[in-house]
Structure 1
């Protein structure tokens, strides 16, 4: 009773409302009913806590207090769960007191389940608010002294220190404005004793513009440094041209330390720990001189430790660096400058790394840069091709050189190109077959063969993603932009219907200049070759890739087997008539035929006027028993070696040109010898692509 009276007396005299009272289970002490509940909460003023002490606890006991329980929370966080029966002494030793955080809230909840085997009296506790002693909290922030009072606390400092603006950190008064002084001394706080903790010192030096400040550090230098060389405490020197430092450890800045500035700020900071001695320096003035370094990444001629007013030097940018004049790089890497009385070089230009810029690559997206490219001196870029149907021709890695050009590892300045992978189909036909009633090609087996349906049915061979080659007589009377070609197909009937068929229109048709056009009673197909440039680039894929052009002139081998293909006439059996007929094939067909001897080729068939066709060195003939090209196969490819797995790459050796009628069954066709025209093909394409 005496304690309660004293508590009420303190309450009546305090400047804030004190919280106190009892909290009990429903029905206490006569016992609580099933399904009883209680929710209780109190909050403390700033700098105080709410605490509760239980004097009685008698609840139904259960595992994890899942039946009847009282739960206590601090700021919503569960801090205690109680059930069962505990005597006062046990409550004092293991439970009491339970309290909130400073300025926080304490909450209590009680519940009982549906039944008890016997009636329990419940619980009772006394709650009160009380001052929280912040000085017992290691996180109170006071760096030296802490003083607690009711509702708060106060930090204070030892003699010679004062509280910083945060009202917690003790620091020293070490900021000085020494402007106008031409000589003097500066040191860390408490020098030569250990410097003060949490120091933040700033010494300002300022003299006339024609003078510079010169610093002389004592050899006794001791500023705290970590084992890995990082500055824990630090000394920095700030001039008009930049900040020098930080300096720490046991090695002072070099003396004399020329600042090249008439205005200097010396900063010193320390943390809250350590017993290091610090630093001491003497400052004085001297006439300004210009520094030995005019601008980074350059050298000067003549070289001296310093330069006086009126002296001139030649500044030469380092290799790979050039002048920046008025924000723009120039081609020059050298200029002349003069030392002024202010200690400043005039004029001064920055030496910046040479920028090679982004290389000019085609916009078709086939040749592409790998990753994000930087374009300055010594930066590297890499190229690759965006599709497996192209191969990189040239070096893939380039470095930005001192001359401002991209130079490859092999010393080349020409960027690589993505050239089409040619003559390597992903599927291969069987090693037998005929074109007259021959074997049907499967999709992707002869992916370079293009179909021409109008105005004259024939074929063409894809030689890159923008060009095809055919026989001149197939396109000799066709307007340049009116020809339509079909690729990536084997059934000519689906050319205009299937979405995956590649349809491309002509933009240019170039017939060999020595081909003679428009002869009614023709006796020569010499130079029967033409180029077709597409209006758009075709997308290569497994069913559409180019055939390779012959690389060098070859020795012709009699009976060497190659493959001819086409959508021309083929021989079919008419069962009802018990006869054969030649009809235009809907399916792409191929046959493996051999190169015939020169003597047999020279024995050309007669024309309708009983004249012999002219055989020239620009032709060869080929065929086999029961196998030959036929009408409407014109312009199609004859490739070597014979199409069979493992023999690629394949080369466009011949173009179907002319021959005796299929009905005569001579099985001898004449082909334009492509190797004689490779130079013309490449030169023509190169000229047009560059125009």
Structure 2
């Protein structure tokens, strides 16, 4: 009976002209029965354009849940398509199993058989054959993309077109032959294919018109105009006119372009494009020529004067760029906003320069490495904005932070300023303020960072100085009188003058020493009786890096008064006791809180050698306290207010240690200690003017 069915199946196979028998696939030991623990892994692939199928003619296997014991798994391109086990009659295999055992076109089939140990009854197994069969792409919408006719053949398909169409380069799309060169014709008619019937789908038409240079083409459209358009007004199919100066259109819908449509050109391309759907009529137009004229637009982003709809040969107009645009002539920026141009016989304007957006460029930073500018995407054109900031916490921005590129190509701040902002040092605010008392004569050392503006000068004359910004310091003139400008060394960021390894200790070299012009220069000595204008500026050879231990002190208000009984602090590394015959200088930075004395007390100046009294002027004040005073070696250092204490900042450089009687410790009730100080408020204008002049 089995042999009869097999013969019948083979007869059916041979009668099929579309199938080709390739071979057989069967379980191990078939038909005597498959052994326990047997397996089979079989796979084959179909040629391109054909499918591979398996036809089972016998199935006798142990039956189990989900075919876990014995079973067959069939995969198509590694996707599981069937799991089989148990017993199935031939008719059931033909109707319920075999129709699903096929591959995709050009795909692969894989059959996996397995058996376990649990067979109680001997099963014969399975047998089937595999064939290839041509796949009809023309019957499959996803395989064939022929727009007109599809023709199937073994292993593939081909497309063809209706009369009047031809295959495009993709060999699937049918399009019309509608490209035509009409150059030389001065009049004629152009219309979409099949006009006035519906135009062809997948059209890509181009009509070329070209006439003499002194002529221009004008187009007259018929009132019937029907080019497919979406419900939201977007062109699905479209008509456009391409000229050397730009494209007119696209045009679509049921409203024709204005007639006559002047192209202002002697050479144009008319392009019409349609998709694969729609039954619209299309368009029809007549073309002819007229004398060339120039259009009302010379270049974008500009206006012309005088204004007309058209200009004839020889007419001259003035082109004015719009606000925020400037003229670029021969690729070079021309700051003028206007130029004249003349209409030529060709309908072209000569000369013709573009109006382009003003570019302010990134602002010049004047070598300031602290000031930074943020321009998103480096956009520096008209109406773009930039943001300034300082890249150090020890500086603050002076001026506006936001600037806008204006129509003149200049960065202008939101408040109308054209000057760039500056990063100025945060002054007079130490990071380690204290409240305990100390003194220079027998006082306690200052802690690091408490007086960060204090600088030390070791030679040729020992003294102090005050940092006022990252490039300048202020000291007493008599300390640096006669010193070579570039030889001075100042030490900052320290409280121990002898510790060369102290972290943060900085050696600052001078590039300029500027003594006040009214100071009487000469070697300072004990015989000197006039220290008027005892003030000097020291410029550094390079910018210093500010930090917690090196910060500037603020300058006082111009010509502000120093008030009697006002408490301030004086600091330095001078002698702590002039009675000491060794005249030892302090190794450590010390400070004292002292009081500003009355003018009467200050005018009662001490008398030095040869009974010559010292000179007291309005450019000085004096201060002191019992047992506390500045001393030799403190000259040039700061007297600052308010008195150093927690929360009292900012601090101002009120005075500079200048001169005084020999300093010594006195009894607690004595008020004889007093020192004389240069009144800095009288010199603020001179300081600022000098620094600005040197920095410019």
> Normalised by the size of structure 1, how large is the TM-score?
0.90
Per-residue CA distance 1:334-384 (angstroms, 9 max, x = gap):
333222221122222222333333322123421222034333333333322
Structure 2 counterpart of 1:628: 629
Contact 1:378 1:401 in 2 (8 A): yes
SS at match of 2:253: coil
TM-superposed CA distance for 1:71, in Å, is 4.3
Shift of 1:168: 0.8
Q: Does 1:236 align with 2:240?
A: yes
| Maintained 8 Å contact 2:456/2:463 | yes
Query: Aligned ranges for residues 649-664 of structure 1 at < 5 Å?
Result: 649-664=650-665
- Partners in 2 of 1:500 and 1:403 — Cα distance? 48
Distance 1:183 1:86, change over 3 A: farther
Q: Distance in 2 between the 1:438 and 1:215 partners? A: 102
Matches for 1:595-614 after TM superposition, within 5 Å: 595-614=596-615
CA distance in 2, matches of 1:525, 1:35: 116
2:441 aligned residue: 436
1:534 has 2:537 as partner: no
Distance 1:637 1:121 in 2: 112
1:626 and 1:120, CA in 2 relative to 1: closer, same or farther beyond 3 A? Answer: farther
Tell me, in whole angstroms, the C-alpha distance in 2 between the residues paired with 1:549 and 1:624: 24
Q: Relative to structure 1, is the Cα distance of residues 364 and 407 closer, same or farther in structure 2, using a 3 angstrom cutoff?
A: closer
Does 622-631 or 32-41 show the bigger shift? 32-41
SS in 2 for 1:395: coil
3-state secondary structure, aligned to 2:533: coil
Q: Please state whether the residue corresponding to 1:536 is helix, strand or coil.
A: coil
- Equivalent pairs, count: 677
TM-superposed deviation, 1:610: 4.5
Distance in 1, matches of 2:37 and 2:675, equals 107
**2:554 maps to which residue?**
548
Q: Which residue of 2 aligns with 1:689?
A: 695
Sort the Cα spacing of 1:92 and 1:557 in 2 relative to 1 into closer, same or farther, 3 A.
farther
Q: Which residue of 2 aligns with 1:675?
A: 681
CA-to-aligned-CA distance 1:280-302 (integer Å, 9 cap, x gap): 22222111111111222222222
Partner SS for 2:286? strand
Q: State the Cα distance separating 1:430 from its structure 2 match.
A: 1.6
Cα distance in 1 for residues equivalent to 2:36 and 2:587: 93
Q: Kindly report the root-mean-square deviation, in angstroms, between the aligned alpha carbons of the 2 structures.
A: 3.0
Q: Structure 1 residues 207 and 606, CA, compared in 2 at 3 Å: closer, same or farther?
A: same
| Residue number among 9, 29, 49 corresponding to 1:27 in the alignment | 29
Q: Which residue of 1 aligns with 2:137?
A: 134
Q: Tell me if the contact between 1:61 and 1:83 (Cα under 8 Å) persists in the aligned partners.
A: no
Instruction: Report the 3-state secondary structure (helix = DSSP H, G, I; strand = E; otherwise coil) of the residue aligned with 1:663.
Output: coil
* Counterparts in 2 of 1:440 and 1:307: CA distance versus 1, 3 Å: same
Q: 2:669 aligns to what? A: none
The verdict on how the C-alpha distance between 1:228 and 1:631 changes in structure 2, with shifts beyond 3 A counting, is farther
Q: 1:176-325 alignment to 2 at 5 Å?
A: 176-325=180-329
Instruction: For 1:502 and 1:86, locate their aligned partners in 2 and report how far apart those are by CA, in whole Å.
Output: 97
Contact map agreement 1:569 1:584 (CA 8 A) in 2: yes
CA distance in 2, matches of 1:102, 1:233: 36
Task: Give me the whole-angstrom Cα distance separating, in 2, the residues matched to 1:133 and 1:215.
Answer: 50
Deviates more, 1:631-640 or 1:670-679: 631-640
Query: Displacement, 1:483?
Result: 1.6
Cα gap change, 1:432 to 1:3, in 2 (>3 Å)? same
Question: For structure 1, which runs of at least 5 residues remain unmatched after alignment?
Answer: 574-578
**Per-residue deviation, 1:457:** 2.7
1:27 is paired with a residue whose SS is: coil
Equivalent-residue separation in structure 2 for 1:86 and 1:678 (angstroms): 111
**Hey, what's the Cα distance between the residues in 1 that align with 2:552 and 2:417?**
28
Choose from 432, 436, 439 the match for 1:427: 432
In structure 2, C-alpha distance between the alignment counterparts of 1:289 and 1:150, rounded to whole Å: 63
**Structure 1 residue 469, shift from structure 2 partner:** 0.8
1:97 aligns with one of 97, 100, 106: 100
Q: Is the alpha carbon distance of 1:27 and 1:618 closer, same or farther for their aligned partners in structure 2, counting shifts above 3 Å?
A: farther
Alpha-carbon deviation of 1:570?
A: 3.2
Q: Match of 1:47?
A: 49
What SS is found at the alignment partner of 2:664? helix
1:500 deviates by 2.8
Per-residue CA shift, 1:595-627, capped at 9, x if unaligned?
222222222233255543222211112223333
Compute the displacement of 1:437 (Å). 3.1
Farther off after superposition, 597-606 or 81-90: 81-90
Identify which of 472, 488, 495 aligns with 2:493: 488
Q: Deviations over 1:170-199 (max 9, x none)?
A: 222222222233222222233333332211
Give the CA deviation at 1:571: 6.2
Q: Distance in 2 between matches of 1:408 and 1:340?
A: 45
Distance of 1:232 and 1:36 partners within structure 2: 64
Q: Does the 8 A contact of 2:74 with 2:109 survive in 1?
A: yes
8 Å contact kept, 2:21–2:129:
no
Which residue of structure 2 lines up, in the alignment, with residue 570 of structure 1? 576
Question: Does the C-alpha gap of structure 1 residues 162 and 633 become closer, same or farther in structure 2, counting only changes over 3 Å?
Answer: same
CA distance in 2, matches of 1:437, 1:116: 107
Query: 1: CA distance between counterparts of 2:224 and 2:289?
Result: 22
Distance in 1 separating the partners of 2:502 and 2:653: 28
C-alpha distance 458-74 of structure 1, shift in aligned 2 (>3 A): farther
Alignment match, 2:3: none
Q: Structure 1 residues 364 and 314, CA, compared in 2 at 3 Å: closer, same or farther?
A: closer
Find the aligned partners of 1:288 and 1:532 in 2 and give their Cα distance: 76
Task: Give 1:586's aligned residue.
Answer: 587
What is the CA deviation profile of residues 51-91 of structure 1, one whole-angstrom value per residue up to 9, with x for unaligned ones?
Answer: 224452636746795x766444444x333463653635379
Number of the residue aligned with 2:422: 417
Q: CA–CA distance in 2 between the matches of 1:69 and 1:562?
A: 102
Gaps of 5+ in 2: 1-6, 667-671
Distance 1:564 1:126, change over 3 A: farther
Kept after mapping to 1: 8 A contact 2:72/2:85: no
**Residue in 2 that maps onto 1:466:** 471
Q: CA deviation at 1:583?
A: 4.7
**Aligned counterparts of 1:502 and 1:246: Cα–Cα separation in 2:** 73
Distance in 1 (alpha carbons) for counterparts of 2:352 and 2:465? 66
Distance in 1, matches of 2:84 and 2:611, equals 124
Matched residue, 1:449:
454
Structure 2 counterparts to residues 147-166 of structure 1, below 5 A? 147-166=151-170
After superposition, the C-alpha distances for 1:312-331 in whole angstroms (9 at most, x for unaligned) are: 22323333333322221223
Q: Quote the Cα distance in structure 2 between the aligned partners of 1:401 and 1:175.
A: 50
